[in-house]
Amino acid sequence: MSTELWYTERYEEHGASLSLKVREVLHREQSPYQTIEIFETEHFGTLMTLDGLVMVTDRDNYLYHEMMSHPALFIHPAPKRVLIIGGGDCGTLREVLRHPEVEEATQVELDERVTRVAERFFPELCEKNHDPRAHFHFTDGIAWIQKADAGRYDVIIVDSTDPVGPAAGLFATEFYAACHHALAEKGVLVAQSESPLLHADLIRQCQSRMSEAGFDAVNSVYFPQFCYPSGWWSGTLGRKGLSMEAFRADDAKAFSGTRYYHANMQQAAQVAPAFLLG
Ligand code: SAM
């Protein structure tokens, strides 16, 4: 009789699933917002799920975290004040703080338990949590942005869960308009926008909603992400007072320490598949 243990996330509406072979269940808790589970997998290191959906694995998180941070930071001419909404595992924060010109990175995560559990099980992702530039607030990012002063941030990164429950409002035009207001001139917004293969309508919607919200130039970056539905993911970028050409290419070329992102990748990742053109 087989005693193998597999973690499976079923994509019911697509008739597909992702399975990872598990060695051990390391942790399970019910926070005020969601069920947080940590598994030790056979080949992907530690895995975190929220309400049964894969958030992070040791092995492939760098793809998402690098592509959700560096393109936006190299589009901005001089990013000093960065806001991350969501991002409780702290991998995006770590990437943001690799940029020496960033003076302040504020993370507004709804669920403090996600961050505390990440500190215990993903110490590498949390290695910059004690950087004096890092500031944490555990509250709703939508309420936070509505109260933010005009022009407060240079870059806003929305590292959210899927557009359901408390994250649904993070995909709304009103939210993007509040981000536009909270961004300084030459500000950049980037929001995770799901899978090109499975959620093309949502990507188009993010793009059109950011335009409606007042962003001058909008596009998406596409990148692989094994553990998310379809293995292919996206982030959608809105530029305030910046053109599509804005990019500190020389600074990006001199940037080291990444495993996926590099200056040419920034250009390549913006090339949309034919079904998303037009
Ligand atoms: N990379 C992941 C993905 O695409 O599946 C997202 C990871 S990160 C853990 C997502 C975080 O967003 C969660 O910790 C969740 O608590 C947080 N979140 C969801 N809605 C939020 C809101 N309205 N304000 C702030 N954080 C929120």
Taking only the tens place, the pLDDT of each residue in 127-180 is 999 999 999 999 999 999 999 999 999 999 999 999 999 999 999 999 999 999
Per DSSP, helices labelled H in 183-224 are 200-212
- Ligand 1 pocket check: which of 109, 114, 157, 179 to mutate, most ligand atoms within 8 Å of Cβ? 109
Question: CA-CA distance, 7 to 165, in Å (whole number)?
Answer: 23
Return the pLDDT at 2: 65
Please answer whether residues 160 and 192 qualify as being in contact, where contact means their C-beta atoms are separated by less than 8 angstroms.
Answer: yes
Q: Tell me, using a 6 A CB cutoff, whether residue 109 lines ligand 1.
A: yes
Instruction: Write the CB contacts of 165 (distance below 8 Å, at least 6 apart in sequence).
Output: none
Each residue of 25-67: pLDDT tens digit?
A: 999 999 999 999 999 999 999 999 999 999 999 999 999 999 9
Q: Is the pLDDT of residue 1 over 90?
A: no
Q: Tell me, using a 6 A CB cutoff, whether residue 91 lines ligand 1.
A: no
Q: Which residues are annotated as a binding site?
A: 34, 65, 89, 109, 140-141, 159-162, 166
- Residue 23 C-alpha to ligand 1 middle, in angstroms? 26
95 token code pair? 């990437």
- Residue 109 C-alpha to ligand 1 middle, in angstroms? 7
| Secondary structure of 6-73 in HEC code, one letter for each residue | EEEEEEHHHCEEEEEEEEEEEEEEECCCCEEEEEEECCCCEEEEECCEEEEECCCHHHHHHHHHHHHH
State how far the alpha carbon of 139 is from the alpha carbons of 20, 113, 269, in Å. 32, 12, 32
Question: Can you tell me which atom of ligand 1 is nearest the CA of 194?
Answer: 4
Which residue has the least CA distance to atom 27 on ligand 1? Answer: 86
Question: Can you tell me which atom of ligand 1 is nearest the CA of 115?
Answer: 14
- Whole-prediction pTM: 0.97
What totals of helices (H) and strands (E) does the chain contain, helices first?
Answer: 8, 12
Q: How many residues are given for the chain?
A: 278
- Residue 271 C-alpha to ligand 1 middle, in angstroms? 27
Helix, strand, coil percentages, rounded to 5, for the chain: 30, 30, 35
Return the pLDDT at 3: 80
Each residue of 220-244: pLDDT tens digit?
A: 999 999 999 999 999 999 999 999 9
4 token code pair? 């193998």
Question: CA-CA distance, 278 to 76, in Å (whole number)?
Answer: 26
Each residue of 77-113: pLDDT tens digit?
A: 999 999 999 999 999 999 999 999 999 999 999 999 9
What rounded mean pLDDT belongs to the chain? 97
Question: CA-CA distance, 24 to 137, in Å (whole number)?
Answer: 32
Domains in the chain, ordered, with CATH?
Answer: 5-56 (2.30.140.10), 61-276 (3.40.50.150)
Q: Count the alpha carbons within 13 Å of 152 in the hemisphere toward its beta carbon.
A: 17
Please answer whether residues 202 and 243 qualify as being in contact, where contact means their C-beta atoms are separated by less than 8 angstroms.
Answer: no
